[in-house]
Amino acid sequence: MSELIIYHNNRCSKSRQTLQLLEQQGLSPSVIDYQITPPNHSELQTIIQQLGFSSARQLMRKGEAVYKELGLDEESVSEAQLIDAMVANPKLIERPIVCYQGKSVLGRPPENVLSLV
């Protein structure tokens, strides 16, 4: 992923702030509404690795009802199952995620993205 990409949710204030910060830097990222077009399994694996996370669970919104409904809080759930759950239920994915030149960061806080650009 050498292109500047933001996995964005316009209803999220942190996501909007992160996009605005990128634009203030004179950048025009490709904006992907991940609720409509979620990253696939392979893309999520890459993002998790680029973020330096040891588990897909670190990229999940554990407060979402579907997290508990699907039993994703169980230790027996595999990494592949966690990633598949995020693909099938993109609201589980923490946002925003910004990817650029083989690196990814979470825009929480939005200023985190400045380390990429």
**Rounded-to-integer distance, Cα 18 and Cα 20, Å:** 5
Active site residue 12: yes
Cβ density class 77-116: b for 16+ within 10 Å, e for less: beeeebbebbbebbebbbbbbbbbeeebbbbbebeebeee
Which of 1, 12, 27, 51 is flagged as catalytic?
Answer: 12
List the strands of the sheet with 97-100, edge to edge: 30-33, 5-8, 97-100, 103-106
Active site residues: 12
